[in-house]
Every structure is written in structure tokens, then in C-alpha cells.
Amino acid sequence: MPTLTVNGRARTVAAEPDTPLLYVLRDELGLNGTKFGCGLGQCGACTVEVEGRAVLSCLTPIGVLEGRAITTVEGLGSPEAPGPLQAAFIAENAAQCGYCIAGMVMRAHALLRENPHPGEDEIRAALRLNLCRCGTHMRILAAVRRAAGRPGPVAGGGS
């Protein structure tokens, strides 16, 4: 039985090594913040961090994760005590339906760990793999800028 370290806690799971992490998180561990979007690695709704890097959990088999730190959106904070990035998303009212938000938050979190003060182009490039069907992209970008301590872009321009 594989043991995964999820949000700082070792968890032994019954799933086979080729089972995608997404299913283990949701079905075995009850961590439903990570969403099933497309199941093909094309939407980013299932993004989590492995060793601080954003990965698509629908494509990542648990067999390659033993001994590696996995962080889900639940590991960043809670509804009662949201983490700084989650608080920025709340302050910017960045969620409409909310389905993509966990993946967006996790990809932004990985970016800010690597580069605490990214420019506009870096933020956009980091989030380009995550889709939002509701169209709250501008609010999502504003939330990441807020978390990075950056002002908004100049009207009609880039950064």
C-alpha cells in the first residue's frame, strides 16, 4: 500500500500505483477541493503541488509520488482562516462558479513560491494552462497581483 504525504500528513492509501492522484485525493482522502475537470490534463482544474511545482493530478499516478510532498488547496488554508493567496482571491471576488479556482490558486501558489514578485507577463504565462469558463480571468489576475503585492496593469497595456 502506497503512503503519500498530503498537506504535511502521511496517508496510506489502498489504490494501485497507476491510479491518478486526483481520484485518491477525492475518493480515498476526502479532499474535494481538487476538481475533476476534463480528465485529460487540458483544463487545470485538478492542479495540485508536488514538491512546490504545479502538476495535473488527473495525469499523475500515485506510484511516482511516494516520499514527495503533495499540497492541495486545503493545505493552504481553510474557510475560517484562508491563506494569503486564498484571501486575495476572496478580496478580488475572483470566483464565479468556483470550479476552476482551486486549480488557479494552486498554480498561482507554485508561481509565487518560485517568484514572489512576478510581472504581468509571468503571471499570465503561469496561469495559461488553467481555464475558467465563467470568464473571471481579470479578477483572477488581480488576485494574483494582490498576493504578489503588485498594482494592476496600466489601462490598455501590459504590466
Q: What pLDDT is recorded for position 133?
A: 87
Q: What pLDDT is recorded for position 21?
A: 98
pTM for the model stands at: 0.91
Measure the CA–CA gap between 98 and 72, rounded to whole angstroms.
16
Q: What pLDDT is recorded for position 153?
A: 63
Query: What is the mean pLDDT of each successive set of 10 residues along the chain, which is 159 residues long?
Result: 94 96 98 94 96 97 96 96 96 90 97 96 95 90 94 54
Please report, for residues 2, 22, 60, 61, 80, the alpha-carbon distance to residue 18 in angstroms, rounded to integers and kept in the order given: 11, 12, 8, 5, 35
Q: What pLDDT is recorded for position 1?
A: 83
DSSP string across 13-62: --S-TTSBHHHIIIIIS--TTSPPS-SSSSS-TTEEEETTEEEETTT-BG
